[in-house]
């Protein structure tokens, strides 16, 4: 039935499957009929969408170059609605008598624009903010308008911090001080007495439950933050003593970020709700139960309890929490509190997409080597050649070991001057062809071969890309976190190459060689051949949480250009805000260079070169122009 030429035809469906976009995209990302990645304004089926390639050309026409970080307003808006609607639906269905009030933890992405949009889009749900430091509190106060929303103050608090929080209470904000340790109580009570303002006190507790995952050291008995049960009781007694127990209104815990397993979430809620009920029985007014963050993002789309995934949906998260709270409180006749969660990662992860171009490719190709060796070839090269000739399905492990052995021996001989550079180069060609051959045979074998696991990445192409891992996706380097990465166009073509990605820092850690997969972690990423001179663009997705402020200036690559995009209902888009990335002068001034002084010094160097007869006066003008325009330029590779 099938026409032979159609059999191998590559389709958008095949790209969807290969890159898993439907699994991790949460309805926000898809592939168009033209084979380009589309961003959808919401999760709804018929929502407006724009092609990332259209945005690339729009951004470039305006004079901004790659790499560029795009922030999609619509996705932030949609994620806030989704979380609030999911809690509200679960509460309605289970007949919960309290309410949900989400807060956004500022530390997850503190950019002014992000906080401003959270407060704007959050207003219809009274979605508030969580702060963990004085600068974050001050940032929050400058943007918060909604007096129904919560403002949760975690972290170490000095007098100044507490005074500001108390003034917020006086101005009508629902501002809570969450005690991280017992000694904070004195200073809170002292300042509130001095200023004559009643504080809203919350207590952070250590749970005995500890969850699995990357970032979960915040949970467990020995976690560094929060009060243990005896400190909790002591605090209650001290509040009673001072006649201030009526200020105790909130109980908080934070299990850690990215909790992949719903069972850990449930058991923490159950334990904390028991504590909550006890505090009510002690006579505290309470009213708020704050379950912290932890709602995970399914970065690899596998829907499992793997660290980069989660084995539950947002809807399940919400209904499991509501159900667990009710199951404890209804047996002890305690009224349902306002449930607060501090979801950061899941609120902002989808919002940002990093786009970058490929600068160059180092392809792995099979070398041209002769069928037979010269008789005068050295013994070791002959041995290596025999290994190459003898590879078959049964002996690949043995051939691999032998090839390594002979290659090392030849390298050793070279060190001792016993073979020349030309022969050594020839032997390396034989070696790499051998490895390539072994990798091909290995594909036919189903059983795992642990020694040969990294073979694919060893013979992968290297795609050199215009971005810095350290600046833009630091968690990929620091804690091996996986982010979905894929081409944003040419998705109707078969990607024939297997690649690893190198950034432009030239640091051996500046690479990505672990990629998402539903069943495992991939060591290479399928990419398209570079066509002569054509641009090729990749996107790193789900990078909105934690990456921006953790990024650093490794090799002095600075902030990338940032463009904020609003998708309109008719499928057009507006670039709402453009922030030019750091210039070379900017990043140098961060490390205490003074760009003006640098120009003066370099001018002197050029003047001296004139004196020494190395350059002409007119050269000096050209050289200074190049130096000064270099200072003004972007830190990344410019076209
Ligand atoms: C970091 C942090 C959060 C955010 O957690 P996510 O998993 O990103 O939602 C919430 N609360 C506290 C106290 C935190 O420290």
Q: How would DSSP label each residue in 51-92?
A: EHHHHHHHHHHTT--SSEEEEEHHHHHHHHHHHHHHHHHHHH
Compute, in angstroms, the gap from residue 227 CA to the centroid of ligand 1: 17
Angle at 480 between CA 478 and CA 482, to 5 degrees: 125
Where does a domain end: 399, 432, 455?
455
Which atom from ligand 1 is nearest to the alpha carbon of 252? 13
255 shares a domain with 388: no
For 76-220, list the strands marked E by DSSP. Answer: 100-105, 128-131, 150-153, 174-179, 201-204
Which atom from ligand 1 is nearest to the alpha carbon of 347? 9
Compute, in angstroms, the gap from residue 154 CA to the centroid of ligand 1: 10
Q: Is the CB of 204 under 6 A from ligand 1?
A: no
209 shares a domain with 117: yes
For the chain, state the CA radius of gyration: 30
Question: Looking at residue 1, what is its pLDDT?
Answer: 41
Q: Is the CB of 582 under 6 A from ligand 1?
A: no
Which of 223, 226, 293, 346 for a ligand 1 pocket mutation test, highest count of atoms within 8 Å of Cβ?
Answer: 293
247 shares a domain with 320: yes
Question: Looking at residue 217, what is its pLDDT?
Answer: 57
142 shares a domain with 275: yes
Q: Does residue 148 belong to any structural domain of this protein?
A: yes
Q: What is the pLDDT of residues 251-266, one digit of tens each?
A: 999 999 999 999 999 9
Question: Looking at residue 69, what is its pLDDT?
Answer: 96
Q: Does residue 371 belong to any structural domain of this protein?
A: no
318 shares a domain with 226: yes
Q: Is the CB of 202 under 6 A from ligand 1?
A: no
Which of 344, 348, 350, 548 for a ligand 1 pocket mutation test, highest count of atoms within 8 Å of Cβ?
Answer: 344
Which atom from ligand 1 is nearest to the alpha carbon of 204? 13
Q: Does residue 171 belong to any structural domain of this protein?
A: yes
Q: Is the CB of 131 under 6 A from ligand 1?
A: no
388 shares a domain with 337: no
Question: Looking at residue 490, what is its pLDDT?
Answer: 97
Compute, in angstroms, the gap from residue 350 CA to the centroid of ligand 1: 16
Compute, in angstroms, the gap from residue 106 CA to the centroid of ligand 1: 9
Question: Looking at residue 209, what is its pLDDT?
Answer: 72
343 shares a domain with 391: no
CA distances, 517 to each of 102, 228, 301 (Å): 32, 40, 8
Where does a domain end: 396, 420, 455?
455
**Within 10 A of 618 (CB to CB), how many other CB atoms are there?**
8
318 shares a domain with 179: yes
Question: Looking at residue 25, what is its pLDDT?
Answer: 97
Angle at 224 between CA 220 and CA 230, to 5 degrees: 70
Q: Is the CB of 260 under 6 A from ligand 1?
A: no
Instruction: Give how many domains the chain has, as a whole number.
Output: 3
What's the number of CA atoms in the CB half-sphere (13 Å) around residue 278? 11
Q: Does residue 315 belong to any structural domain of this protein?
A: yes
Compute, in angstroms, the gap from residue 341 CA to the centroid of ligand 1: 9
Among 84, 101, 86, 270, CA closest to 176: 101
Phi-psi region of 592 (alpha: psi -120 to 50; beta: other; left: phi over 0): left
Q: Does residue 114 belong to any structural domain of this protein?
A: yes
What's the number of CA atoms in the CB half-sphere (13 Å) around residue 413? 19
Please, which residues have CB within 8 angstroms of residue 442's CB and are 6 or more apart in sequence?
A: 396, 449, 452, 455
Q: Does residue 248 belong to any structural domain of this protein?
A: yes
Q: Is the CB of 107 under 6 A from ligand 1?
A: yes
Question: Looking at residue 446, what is its pLDDT?
Answer: 78
Among 608, 596, 603, 595, CA closest to 625: 603
Q: What secondary structure letter does DSSP report for 528? A: P
What does the alpha-carbon distance between residue 76 and residue 131 come to, in Å, rounded to a whole number? 19
230 shares a domain with 175: yes
307 shares a domain with 429: no
Q: Is the CB of 293 under 6 A from ligand 1?
A: yes
* Protein residue with least CA distance to atom 2, ligand 1: 293
pTM for the full model? 0.92
325 shares a domain with 189: yes
Name beta bridge partners: 540.
354, 485
What's the number of CA atoms in the CB half-sphere (13 Å) around residue 323? 12
Q: Is the CB of 505 under 6 A from ligand 1?
A: no
Q: Does residue 568 belong to any structural domain of this protein?
A: no
Q: What is the pLDDT of residues 72-86, one digit of tens each?
A: 999 999 999 999 999
Contact call for residues 380 and 428 (beta carbons, < 8 A): no
Compute, in angstroms, the gap from residue 218 CA to the centroid of ligand 1: 10
Compute, in angstroms, the gap from residue 170 CA to the centroid of ligand 1: 27
Q: Is the CB of 310 under 6 A from ligand 1?
A: no
Question: Looking at residue 5, what is its pLDDT?
Answer: 44
Which atom from ligand 1 is nearest to the alpha carbon of 343? 9
Which atom from ligand 1 is nearest to the alpha carbon of 258? 7
Compute, in angstroms, the gap from residue 519 CA to the centroid of ligand 1: 28
Q: How do 511-512 and 497-502 pair as beta strands?
A: antiparallel
**Within 10 A of 71 (CB to CB), how many other CB atoms are there?**
25
Question: Looking at residue 555, what is its pLDDT?
Answer: 85
Question: Looking at residue 219, what is its pLDDT?
Answer: 57
Catalytic residues: 506
pLDDT means per 10 residues, the chain with 639 residues, are 57 97 97 97 94 96 94 96 98 98 96 94 97 96 96 95 97 97 95 97 90 62 80 97 97 95 96 97 98 97 94 97 98 96 97 97 91 89 95 92 95 95 95 93 82 84 95 91 97 96 90 92 95 93 91 87 96 93 94 96 97 96 97 93
Residue 399 belongs to domain spanning: 379-455
One-letter-per-residue 3-state SS of 284-309: CCCCEEECCCCECCCCCCCCCCCCCC
Which atom from ligand 1 is nearest to the alpha carbon of 257? 7
Contact call for residues 83 and 118 (beta carbons, < 8 A): no
Q: What secondary structure letter does DSSP report for 35? A: S
What does the alpha-carbon distance between residue 486 and residue 12 come to, in Å, rounded to a whole number? 13
Q: Does residue 258 belong to any structural domain of this protein?
A: yes
- What is the CATH number for 126? 3.20.20.10
Where does a domain end: 455, 470, 495?
455
Assigned token pair, 358: 């490929």
**Within 10 A of 294 (CB to CB), how many other CB atoms are there?**
30
180 shares a domain with 106: yes
- What is the CATH number for 416? 1.20.58.930
Assigned token pair, 535: 């641009």
């Amino acid at each position: 039935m099938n026409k032979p030429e159609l059999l191998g035809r590559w389709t958008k469906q095949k790209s969807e499957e290969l890159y898993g976009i439907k699994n991790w995209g949460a309805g926000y990302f898809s592939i168009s009929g033209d084979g380009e990645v589309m961003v959808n304004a919401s999760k709804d089926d018929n929502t407006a969408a724009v092609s990332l390639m259209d945005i690339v050309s729009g951004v470039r026409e305006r004079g901004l170059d790659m790499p560029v970080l795009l922030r999609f307003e619509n996705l932030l808006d949609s994620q806030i609605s989704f979380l609030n609607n999911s809690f509200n639906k679960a509460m309605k269905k289970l007949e919960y008598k309290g309410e949900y009030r989400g807060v956004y933890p500022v530390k997850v992405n503190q950019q002014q624009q992000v906080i401003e949009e959270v407060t704007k889009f959050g207003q219809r749900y009274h979605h508030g903010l969580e702060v963990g430091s004085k600068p974050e509190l001050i940032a929050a106060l400058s943007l918060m308008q909604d007096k129904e929303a919560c403002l949760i103050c975690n972290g170490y608090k000095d007098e100044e911090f507490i005074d500001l929080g108390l003034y917020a209470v006086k101005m009508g904000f629902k501002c809570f001080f969450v005690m991280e340790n017992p000694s904070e109580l004195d200073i809170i009570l002292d300042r509130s007495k001095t200023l004559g303002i009643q504080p809203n006190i919350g207590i952070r507790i250590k749970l005995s439950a500890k969850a699995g995952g990357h970032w979960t050291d915040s949970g467990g008995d020995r976690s560094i933050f929060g009060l243990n049960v005896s400190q909790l009781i002591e605090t209650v007694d001290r509040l009673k003593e001072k006649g201030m127990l009526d200020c105790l209104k909130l109980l908080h815990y934070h299990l850690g970020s990215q909790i992949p397993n719903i069972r850990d979430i449930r058991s923490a809620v159950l334990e904390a709700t028991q504590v909550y009920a006890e505090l009510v029985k002690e006579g505290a007014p309470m009213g708020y139960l704050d379950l912290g963050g932890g709602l995970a993002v399914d970065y690899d789309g596998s829907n499992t309890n793997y660290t980069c995934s989660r084995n539950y949906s947002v809807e399940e998260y919400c209904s499991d929490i509501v159900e667990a709270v009710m199951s404890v409180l209804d047996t002890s006749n305690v009224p349902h509190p306002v449930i607060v969660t501090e979801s950061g990662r899941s609120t902002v992860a989808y919002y940002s997409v990093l786009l970058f171009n490929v600068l160059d490719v180092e392809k792995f190709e099979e070398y041209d080597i002769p069928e037979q060796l010269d008789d005068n070839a050295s013994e070791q090269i002959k041995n290596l050649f025999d290994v190459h000739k003898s590879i078959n399905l049964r002996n690949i492990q043995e051939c691999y070991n032998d090839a390594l052995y002979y290659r090392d021996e030849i390298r050793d001989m070279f060190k001792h001057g016993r073979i020349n550079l030309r022969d050594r180069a020839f032997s390396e060609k034989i070696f790499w062809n051998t490895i390539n051959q072994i990798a091909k045979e290995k594909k036919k074998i189903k059983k795992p071969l642990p020694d040969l696991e990294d073979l694919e990445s060893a013979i992968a192409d290297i795609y050199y890309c215009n971005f810095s891992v350290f600046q833009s996706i630091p968690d990929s380097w620091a804690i091996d976190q996986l982010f979905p990465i894929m081409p944003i166009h040419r998705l109707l073509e078969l990607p024939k190459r297997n690649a690893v990605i190198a950034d432009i820092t030239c640091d051996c850690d500046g690479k990505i060689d672990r990629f998402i997969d539903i069943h495992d972690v991939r060591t290479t990423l399928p990419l398209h051949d570079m066509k002569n001179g054509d641009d090729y663009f990749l996107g790193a997705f789900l990078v909105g949480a934690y990456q921006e402020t953790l990024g650093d200036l490794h090799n002095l690559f600075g902030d990338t250009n940032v463009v904020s995009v609003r998708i309109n209902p008719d499928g057009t888009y507006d670039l709402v805000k453009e922030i030019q990335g750091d210039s070379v002068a900017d990043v140098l001034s961060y490390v205490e260079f003074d760009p003006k002084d640098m120009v003066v010094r370099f001018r002197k160097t050029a003047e001296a070169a004139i004196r020494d007869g190395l350059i002409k006066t007119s050269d000096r003008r050209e050289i200074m122009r190049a130096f000064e325009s270099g200072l003004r330029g972007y830190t990344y590779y410019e076209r």
